[in-house]
């Protein structure tokens, strides 16, 4: 009998102890997650870069370019009629226009440009986002409606490599022409923007925490100068393909040539 009671007490104690351990573990994970979320990303330090290298390159897409059919169902006098648009802007030599290129997790380097101090604008004009693709310094952005129709501008933070964009970062109704609302975009990351009133509207923003970025030109080319020598991860992103990451080594006063091939 004593043995049975002893076994019962021991097993109950073990059970309780294990439950307690599990609870402590869960609480720790929860606390760590909260802290990681609340803590600011380590701030970028501006220095003068005298021996920097330059990254030049081209973003390409070699596959068949998929198209989407846009069929406006409302506000046609402002938004236009049915049309087809390519999902990737690819030039004759396979260069991808409006690709975003940036370096991840740069701790120190060249100063931010003066332009980056002004509040960037995401305009909505003729039911299109303008610019369709932009890179913004983490901070404020102004969302503007230039149309005489309601736009409900909705931004989603993408999870990884520009995919799984589901977490709402802003959701703004702008019923009036000329309306302007400022939002704070503190976290670096890719943001997909659409409009709840016009399902075909699509735009992309990359919020960055360092000034090493570029948007590709009509030939898919880009240049990122004054990069302090070192190892980095270069990211090339396009809304439909998502992002690819390329490990690179930048050497003092040298030019590094990169071809970033995006794939579906």
Q: Which residues lie near Cu ion (CB under 5 A)?
A: 151, 195, 197-198
- Smallest gap from Cβ 201 to Cu ion, in A, equals 5
> How many whole angstroms from its chain centre is CA 38?
19
CB of 129 to Cu ion, least distance (A): 9
The least CB distance from residue 89 to Cu ion, in Å, is 21
Element at 263 (helix H, strand E): none
| Residue (127 or 234) nearer to Cu ion, CB | 127
Q: CB-wise, 60 or 197, nearer to Cu ion? A: 197
Indicate the residue among 116 and 152 with the shorter CB distance to Cu ion.
152
Torsion, Cα of 239, 245, 249, 250 (10° steps): 10
Residue 126, CB half-sphere, CA atoms under 13 Å: how many? Answer: 5
- Smallest Cα–Cα separation from 102: which of 65, 62, 139, 133? 133
Nearer to Cu ion, 58 or 151 (CB): 151
The residue nearest Cu ion at its CB is 195
> What six digits make up the tokens of 230?
């070192």
SS3 5: helix
For residue 120, the minimal CB distance to Cu ion (Å) is 19
């Amino acid at each position: 009998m004593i043995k049975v009671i002893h076994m019962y007490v021991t097993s109950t104690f073990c059970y309780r102890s294990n439950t307690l351990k599990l609870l402590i573990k869960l609480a720790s994970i929860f606390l760590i997650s909260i802290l990681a979320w609340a803590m600011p990303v380590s701030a970028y330090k501006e220095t003068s870069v005298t021996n920097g290298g330059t990254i030049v390159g081209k973003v390409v897409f070699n596959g068949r370019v998929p198209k989407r059919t846009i069929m406006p169902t409302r506000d046609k006098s402002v938004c236009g009629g049915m049309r087809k648009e390519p999902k990737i802007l690819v030039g004759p030599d396979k260069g991808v226009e409006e690709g975003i290129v940036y370096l991840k997790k740069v701790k120190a380097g060249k100063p931010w440009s003066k332009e980056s101090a002004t509040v960037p604008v995401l305009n909505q004009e003729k039911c299109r986002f303008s610019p369709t693709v932009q890179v913004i310094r983490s901070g404020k952005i102004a969302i503007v409606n230039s149309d005489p129709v309601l736009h409900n501008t909705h931004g989603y933070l993408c999870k990884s490599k520009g995919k799984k964009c589901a977490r709402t970062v802003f959701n703004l109704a702008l019923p009036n022409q000329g309306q302007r609302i400022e939002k704070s975009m503190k976290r670096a990351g890719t943001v997909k923007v659409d409009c709840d009133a016009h399902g075909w509207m699509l735009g992309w923003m990359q919020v960055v925490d360092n000034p090493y970025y570029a948007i590709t030109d009509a030939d898919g080319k880009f240049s990122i100068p004054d990069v302090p020598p070192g190892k980095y991860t270069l990211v090339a992103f396009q809304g439909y393909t998502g992002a690819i990451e390329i490990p690179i080594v930048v050497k003092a006063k040298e030019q590094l040539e990169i071809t970033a091939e995006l794939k579906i």
